[in-house]
Structure 1
């Protein structure tokens, strides 16, 4: 563990309780104390009360003038440093000691007078920020009447009863090592990389404010987000002066220029380490770590502070609290040499816990390898349809975006799986006679077949050769409601309940015959993700639709949700249609002869004037979908995934 000071959100002094109200409240507490009420001892009370009020509102010179301190500047400085040493969001005092129900009221008395001397008690409430209950304790002071006027006898113990001369308060945070993100077998999905921990020794900084502002500006230039310099300054000031305070963890060599620039600024110290902070597999899913900028802190909230290294994307961000745990916070009294003399209060934290995913250690590298030869963005999802487990999430050249789960693409002819399933549910069979003309007109709109016309055939053969005109013509056999309902049965547009962002698809209801024909072939504004289409293929393979899940621990809530069986006879026919497409149709280059047969559909969809190439299919208890932002032989990509060899098909961007 490393000791780190904990920053807090600054509070507007104008929001503090008004002086007049404080005085009334203090008097009320004092009255409750019993015989030593406001009017019983009016002489000592005002001096004590005015001292506490001045301290609370930050008028430290006025507070010092109420004391016997020979060096009032030193007294004012000591009182003024308390907020900074604690990085307190607020500091409030009240006369006396709060009386618990059933307790002798005399225990709550504020002042006990003996001649020209008095002992006084007061309560202190320190808001340390965003980490639970405030720190409350009972303070005490002595007062003395000098020339008829009461004065507070200055002593550092007024700040806290345990504080000795020369000592200061400090807040120390013990940050545990971050827990790993794991695959389905509990092996880490992270790898150790060279990194630099950038920090400071607070007591060595000539100008802490300038140093903090330099750090905030440097990180903004590097990453586009900025550290909260005001909160970070509070953290530096409250840290033990002689202990190294980590402020930033930067991965090498990507951040070498920033590390060098910070070293050249002066004031910053760099410790080189090896840390498990980089994703070994599925980087877009696993995510990254980064500095706790203001924007990120709004997402993860307490108890993390500027200067912490927290999740910046992916599971690292979504599971930040579980992976990082909660630090242990201690308020301590510290000697001038930096030695912690005494712990005054502590708040125990929570130990980090790993996050175990459903990612398969063998399938994930194969999915990444299958896409590795492409020169355009591509993504792939592999699921186990018998359970709903997401076994591989591969993204290639997607600039950190998890398009395998969150992408929004036009499905093109792969939506024909839903359309054909609806037709089969409506009474057609795989052997129903069909035609595959070069063009057809439905509702005044002309549709063109992407391949050559094939004349008369069966539904199975027309589907195998991706006859878009066939499905467009057959739209007359379905009403719009039946088509949309089939998409819903196969999971499109549903709330899957995943604990990570995912797009389940969107299928607008066709308003007329032309739109219905367009919907049949995956046009008409339909959008899907690779994950959504992999689940469709998996439902056909197993005859049952199940929601996907990605986390085993903590357990995704949709595990164990009742499966939704499909109509067995039409689904059996649908499997044959998809198998025929691979066996001799447009997806035949995926027909590898190893183990179970491959079934699937290929398509090139139009995405705003740009092509998206698809493969959607299955093999045994694996279902998968590939989307490539360009023209690609996705059947070869599927074969490469199955055999574990990379395929390098020709790809054009337009």
Structure 2
């Protein structure tokens, strides 16, 4: 009896507060743990998990949240979630329907038990309209006799509800798990898609332990080839993507593997040497991405991103800045509006469509050649030709010569093949220098450099089309010998004497490059771009918010070209 009495007394004791962190401690076996956050006490509601609308004489509270409001709201939400009361937890959010569905699925579909939540100290309280509370999750995935632990960190943000001013959790699926996007779900069961063992071009296995950037690539390979590569499905806890994520071409993601499936095998074109160097290079900068391709074939030899959660290198949609001038130059030369060694205007400014376009620091080149304007990246040299172009000219050039902006690339994993929409007036002019509505990623711009080097477009690919018989995208025409020769001359001169010279130093003579800086609203620094080729290698990179491309993306690309394959 004495022992039983001590256990009962322990269960009635409020949890301790240690170092500003208060734990919601689970007890017992299956199911959810016992109540208490921040020292216990009742949740600030009517006990039924509901919040009534304000009466006509109530005052809607506004202004910054207090620390107490943030604390008690987070307490109410986390306690109800842990104790297995999804409707009550959802009532503490600003989207009870979505929250109820996902929190109910947390136990019923994801089969998560013995949940323990540990809340950290909130931030931002009292200084703004929201307060962020980090918390950690410990749970057990239990499915048909199989169990494995799950541990991760997440966070919630408390805001004032617009209708009544009450503090509520600002609902997003990422509150439940950071890998979830709104509309995604967590499911445990037979995966349906067998795992794959991805191999590099030499036949060795590619893993995220060796190449951290490849997580999204490996997910994409599994989704594309898992059912046809000869493997057998295992039992897993997975993120299943919803409509919005599918539209963004995000792949399902495995979080916990309860029983191993038998993997099939998929061989890629990746070079282990170049991939290793690419990983190291992007790790040196924040928000960097790079791709290396082989111009003669289109094989993708390396892909890396600083951010491992989204494959910007393949799926990014960013203004490419002055790297777009490679395509624009080919158009102007084709139309006899420019020639490498002929005089070409580069005024300080040029106005078109009501917009006044500037060069960097308002420089001008007097009596200079088009080659000089390209090498120094003179914006007005290109904008000044806008009155002589039709709205669809740049779009047609990108599609017909460079194979871009037709939404038909099939590289083996999800990718975005660029956008060069037909535009008019000032937006059309801005497109000529890679702004306006033009959107690209490093894969696209590496392909542009590769097309110049090879003389014709070869759709990049990560998995050989012989693997599954898919059809690769093609371009409908190639550049004339004269245009191609001049385009190579422009890029070589830029690598020798222009904005790319410092990064490309020592890599000549069979090389060419173009830098770019893309202005983005609300960013203090532009996105830095760089695309180049050397021998039978072409590469492109971007460093978001990095500044000038020659200083930021340039060294990344140049190092990979120097490494060779």
How do 1:87-236 residues align onto structure 2 when only pairs under 5 Å count? 208=30, 228-230=106-108
Among candidates 248, 253, 256, match of residue 148 of structure 2: 248
Say which is worse superposed, 458-467 or 442-451, in terms of deviation.
442-451
Cα deviations by residue, 1:229-281 (Å, 9 ceiling, x for unpaired): 3357799xxxxxxx994333669999xxxxxxxxxxxxxxxxxxxx9996034
2:196 paired with 1:285: no
2:315 paired with 1:392: no
Among candidates 517, 528, 531, match of residue 443 of structure 2: 531
The equivalent of 2:339 in structure 1 is 429
2:561 paired with 1:642: yes
The equivalent of 1:544 in structure 2 is 456
Number of residue pairs aligned between Structure 1 and Structure 2: 372
Contact 1:364–1:392 (CA under 8 A) maintained in structure 2? yes
The equivalent of 1:621 in structure 2 is 536
2:401 paired with 1:486: no
State the distance in 1 between where 2:236 and 2:281 align. 37
Among candidates 356, 363, 366, match of residue 446 of structure 1: 356
Distance 1:572 1:559, change over 3 A: farther
Gaps of 5+ in 2: 1-26, 34-78, 90-98, 114-142, 155-196, 198-204, 220-231
Give the drift of 1:283.
2.9
Distance 1:247 1:369, change over 3 A: same
Give the drift of 1:578.
0.9
Cα deviations by residue, 1:113-148 (Å, 9 ceiling, x for unpaired): xxxxxxxxxxxxxxxxxxxxxxxxxxxxxxxxxxxx
Contact 2:32–2:83 (CA under 8 A) maintained in structure 1? no
Distance 1:385 1:563, change over 3 A: farther
Distance 1:563 1:409, change over 3 A: closer
Higher CA-based Rg: 1
State the distance in 2 between where 1:207 and 1:373 align. 46
State the distance in 1 between where 2:472 and 2:355 align. 45
State the distance in 2 between where 1:515 and 1:206 align. 64
State the distance in 2 between where 1:249 and 1:287 align. 23
State the distance in 1 between where 2:382 and 2:264 align. 51
Give the drift of 1:422.
0.5
Cα deviations by residue, 1:447-467 (Å, 9 ceiling, x for unpaired): 111152111111112111101
Say which is worse superposed, 486-495 or 560-569, in terms of deviation.
560-569
Give the drift of 1:608.
1.9
The equivalent of 1:420 in structure 2 is 329
How do 1:487-506 residues align onto structure 2 when only pairs under 5 Å count? 487-489=398-400, 490-495=402-407, 496-506=409-419
State the distance in 2 between where 1:586 and 1:598 align. 14
Give the drift of 1:599.
1.0
Give the drift of 1:206.
8.7
Give the drift of 1:640.
2.9
The equivalent of 1:359 in structure 2 is 270
Contact 2:339–2:370 (CA under 8 A) maintained in structure 1? yes
Distance 1:548 1:613, change over 3 A: same
Give the drift of 1:550.
1.2
The equivalent of 2:428 in structure 1 is 516
Among candidates 617, 623, 631, match of residue 547 of structure 2: 631
RMSD: 4.5
Contact 2:295–2:454 (CA under 8 A) maintained in structure 1? yes
SS at match of 2:419: coil
Higher strand content, 1 or 2: 1
Among candidates 452, 459, 475, match of residue 386 of structure 2: 475
State the distance in 2 between where 1:289 and 1:229 align. 28
2:281 paired with 1:403: no
Distance 1:245 1:289, change over 3 A: farther
Contact 2:403–2:475 (CA under 8 A) maintained in structure 1? no
The equivalent of 1:111 in structure 2 is none
Gaps of 5+ in 1: 1-204, 236-242, 255-274, 291-302, 328-349, 646-654
Cα deviations by residue, 1:7-49 (Å, 9 ceiling, x for unpaired): xxxxxxxxxxxxxxxxxxxxxxxxxxxxxxxxxxxxxxxxxxx
Distance 1:218 1:450, change over 3 A: farther
The equivalent of 1:583 in structure 2 is 496
Contact 2:289–2:312 (CA under 8 A) maintained in structure 1? yes
State the distance in 1 between where 2:252 and 2:265 align. 9
SS at match of 1:609: coil
SS at match of 1:436: coil
Distance 1:247 1:476, change over 3 A: same
Contact 1:407–1:528 (CA under 8 A) maintained in structure 2? yes
Cα deviations by residue, 1:190-229 (Å, 9 ceiling, x for unpaired): xxxxxxxxxxxxxxx9965569xx9x959999xx976653
The equivalent of 2:527 in structure 1 is 612
SS at match of 2:360: coil
The TM-score normalised by the length of structure 1 is 0.49
Give the drift of 1:488.
1.2
The equivalent of 1:76 in structure 2 is none
State the distance in 2 between where 1:419 and 1:617 align. 16
SS at match of 1:599: strand
SS at match of 1:434: coil
The equivalent of 1:308 in structure 2 is 236
The equivalent of 2:515 in structure 1 is 602
Give the drift of 1:524.
1.4
Distance 1:283 1:422, change over 3 A: same
Give the drift of 1:542.
0.7
Give the drift of 1:289.
9.9
State the distance in 1 between where 2:369 and 2:218 align. 55
Distance 1:508 1:561, change over 3 A: closer
